[in-house]
């Protein structure tokens, strides 16, 4: 937890830049400003799996010597050149920024820290300054005057600090008149850093786990089954109904994949239970999988190669089990990958048995998923609700006064905005929106995605979470909101410390936890508690 109280943090904020030019300011590499580097054995394992990482070693970012390979300048230059040739986005975004400053106060890290290098424009300039020097004529001649500089170790260290302090949330891109997307720049910077061995363990260990065990937490299949059995027991305790939980079973129509964070801890497990209840209610012809037990794609934070390798498992497993289409759970960056990358990267490995998804209960054809064959759970549930296929007792969510947090990736990389709201409003009576400048496409990041969901960098996370936290505190005060719902597993992990700090008393919940609470199962006993085994309204004394 942060050393500072929220009031102190706010008092200390200064949005005015320092007098020193940013080029003359070194990055602060002291502990607390960075997440731990990747463990050498994990880097070695991933290199062995054919991924573009390098230079496994023990190193500490606060040390002077980062143990870079001797030819690191050439590697970075060559890697930069390659990526300029591979991505028009990078080339364009290096050239067309006019530094109008429209993005400056749109980044949650800038708002929470006041650090000018967190202004998206300047974050990208950290890379543009090298681009100009290395790849443009004017930059070669006029140097500092035109904002170009030579690649030095200090610049690389600055990249490490600031490009891991970007959550690729794309909020700046929404406001940029040319659509310059800092997420693209950040992704490229990270790819370059990986080539010389600058990486963080919070990303690489999950990548290694996803690759080998199927999920980022490294849960082995037998343990995954244990967890599911445990949840089935809990559901029986709450509802009196023993739900089906098919796992790794071939021959079903639908494969269901959700982020494994939901199998791991509060409050994700309640969302996991919500899925189980819904699918049991529908008697859905589906299966879970342990091999593809991770929806979240930590490759998005690493490199496009890693993203492709991890994503491919979804199709590989659908093919192996003979599933016709895939239903995807509540996850943020998983859906950006599915919407914008999946078919382009892995469409060719889709088996011939896969078809455009059709809701077996309502007959709705999901034409918007004709290529990927993947449907978002809130699209699926909203469709069921519209067709009157779900019977809810909304009062079972009456102890919750709910607001909704749009996760950056489904919001700005997909446009999934109304579907979750439709679901929440159908199964709960008290729903309140946060201020309009902080939701939907203008939503604020949870400050933990893309590589910061780790305790060693908690101060920075809490700062970055300030805009979201403030908006939450606003509805808490105004409408007595006590539940922040979301459709992302990283949110369910990161928003808890955030709300404890900025809006104490607000709980975090997935949307399908609310569905699971409200759904009236056939043969259930009278419910007196919710999936958290906390008393429902009116049953406070009985539990």
Q: Which of residues 69-108 bind other proteins (CB under 8 A)?
A: 84-92, 95-102, 104-105
Q: How many binding residues for other proteins (CB under 8 A)?
A: 120
Q: Which stretch binds other proteins (CB under 8 A): 274-282, 306-314, 451-459, 482-490?
A: 306-314
Assess 180 for contact with other proteins (CB under 8 A): yes
Query: Which of 440, 456, 500, 528 lies at the binding interface for other proteins (CB under 8 A)?
Result: 440
Q: Burial code of 309-341, b = ≥16 C-beta within 10 A, e = fewer?
A: bbbbbbbbbbbbbebbbbbbbbbbbbbbbbbeb
Assess 433 for contact with other proteins (CB under 8 A): no
Distance linking the first and last C-alpha atoms of the chain: 32
Query: Which of 369, 488, 495, 518 lies at the binding interface for other proteins (CB under 8 A)?
Result: 369
Between residues 364 and 429, which has the closer beta carbon with respect to other proteins? 364
List Cα–Cα distances, 539 to 62, 205, 273, 277, 542, in angstroms: 54, 44, 21, 22, 5
The CA distance from 389 to 4, in Å, is: 50
The 461-500 site mask, x for binding other proteins (CB under 8 A), equals: -----xx--xx-----------------------------
Between residues 176 and 531, which has the closer beta carbon with respect to other proteins? 176
Instruction: List the one residue out of 410, 409, 346, 348 whose CA is nearest residue 377.
Output: 410
Q: Which stretch binds other proteins (CB under 8 A): 60-68, 69-77, 244-252, 254-262?
A: 244-252
Q: How far is the CB of 31 from other proteins (least distance, A)?
A: 28
Whether the upstream peptide bond of residue 16 has omega within 30° of 0, thus cis, is: no
Query: Which of 1, 31, 142, 150 lies at the binding interface for other proteins (CB under 8 A)?
Result: 142
Assess 212 for contact with other proteins (CB under 8 A): yes
Between residues 239 and 260, which has the closer beta carbon with respect to other proteins? 260
Count CB atoms within 10 A of the CB of residue 446: 32
The CA distance from 288 to 255, in Å, is: 6
Assess 15 for contact with other proteins (CB under 8 A): yes
Assess 316 for contact with other proteins (CB under 8 A): yes
Between residues 30 and 222, which has the closer beta carbon with respect to other proteins? 222
Total count of residues recorded for the chain: 543
- 502-521: which residues touch other proteins (CB under 8 A)? none
Assess 247 for contact with other proteins (CB under 8 A): yes
Q: How far is the CB of 441 from other proteins (least distance, A)?
A: 5
The CA distance from 353 to 191, in Å, is: 35
DSSP codes joined into one string, 258-327? --GGGGTSTTHHHHHHHHHHHHHHHT--EEB-STT-----GGGGT-HHHHHHHHHHHHHHHHHHT-SEEE
- 106-135: which residues touch other proteins (CB under 8 A)? 111, 116, 119, 121-122, 125
Assess 3 for contact with other proteins (CB under 8 A): no
The CA distance from 60 to 34, in Å, is: 10
Q: Which stretch binds other proteins (CB under 8 A): 161-169, 308-316, 485-493, 518-526?
A: 308-316
Assess 458 for contact with other proteins (CB under 8 A): no
* Two tokens, residue 240: 């009196």
Query: Which of 134, 158, 262, 419 lies at the binding interface for other proteins (CB under 8 A)?
Result: 419
């Amino acid at each position: 937890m942060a050393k500072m109280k929220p009031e102190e943090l706010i008092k200390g904020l200064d949005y005015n830049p320092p007098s020193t030019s940013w080029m003359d300011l070194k990055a602060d590499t002291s502990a607390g400003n960075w997440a731990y580097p990747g463990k050498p054995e994990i880097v070695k394992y991933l290199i062995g799996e054919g991924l573009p990482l390098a230079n496994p070693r023990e190193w500490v970012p606060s040390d002077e010597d980062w143990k870079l390979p001797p030819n690191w300048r050439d590697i970075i230059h060559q890697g930069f050149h390659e990526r300029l040739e591979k991505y028009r986005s990078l080339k364009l975004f290096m050239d067309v920024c006019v530094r109008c400053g429209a993005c400056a106060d749109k980044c949650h890290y800038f708002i929470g820290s006041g650090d000018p290098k967190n202004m998206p424009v300047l974050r990208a300039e950290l890379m543009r300054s090298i681009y100009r020097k290395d790849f443009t004529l004017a930059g070669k001649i006029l140097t500092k005057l035109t904002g170009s500089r030579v690649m030095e170790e200090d610049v690389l260290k600055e990249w490490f600090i600031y490009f891991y302090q970007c959550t690729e949330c794309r909020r700046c891109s929404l406001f940029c008149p040319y659509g310059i997307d800092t997420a693209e720049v950040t992704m490229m910077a990270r790819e370059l850093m990986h080539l010389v061995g600058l990486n963080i363990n919070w990303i690489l260990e999950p990548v290694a786990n996803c690759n080998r065990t199927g999920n980022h937490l490294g849960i082995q299949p037998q343990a995954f089954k244990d967890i599911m059995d445990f949840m089935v027991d809990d559901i029986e305790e709450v509802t009196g109904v023993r739900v089906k939980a098919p796992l790794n079973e071939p021959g079903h129509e639908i494969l269901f994949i959700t982020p494994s964070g939901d199998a791991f801890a509060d409050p994700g497990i309640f969302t996991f239970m919500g899925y189980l209840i819904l699918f049991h209610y529908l008697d859905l012809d589906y299966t879970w999988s342990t091999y593809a037990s991770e929806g979240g794609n930590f490759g998005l934070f690493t490199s496009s190669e890693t993203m492709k390798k991890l994503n491919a498992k979804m199709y590989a497993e659908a093919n192996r089990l003979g599933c016709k289409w895939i239903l995807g759970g509540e996850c943020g960056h998983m859906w950006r990958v599915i919407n914008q990358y999946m078919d382009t990267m892995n469409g060719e490995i889709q088996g011939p048995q896969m078809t455009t998804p059709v809701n077996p209960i309502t007959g709705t054809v999901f034409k918007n998923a004709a290529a990927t064959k993947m449907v978002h759970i809130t699209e699926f549930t909203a469709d069921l609700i519209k067709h009157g296929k779900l019977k809810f007792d909304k009062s079972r969510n009456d102890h919750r006064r709910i607001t909704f947090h749009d996760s950056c990736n489904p919001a700005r990389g997909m446009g999934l905005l109304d579907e979750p709201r439709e679901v929440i409003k159908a199964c709960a009576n008290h729903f309140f929106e946060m201020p309009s400048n902080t939701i939907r496409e203008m939503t604020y990041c949870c400050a933990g995605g893309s590589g910061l969901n780790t305790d060693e960098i908690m101060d920075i996370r809490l700062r970055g979470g300030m805009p979201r936290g403030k908006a939450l505190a606003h509805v808490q005060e105004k409408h007595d909101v006590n539940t922040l719902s979301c459709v992302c597993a990283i949110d369910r992990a990161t928003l808890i410390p955030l709300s404890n700090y900025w809006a104490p008393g607000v709980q975090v919940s997935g949307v399908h936890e609310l569905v699971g609470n409200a759904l009236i199962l056939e043969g259930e006993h009278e419910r007196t508690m919710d999936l958290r085994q906390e008393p429902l309204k009116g049953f406070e004394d009985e539990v």
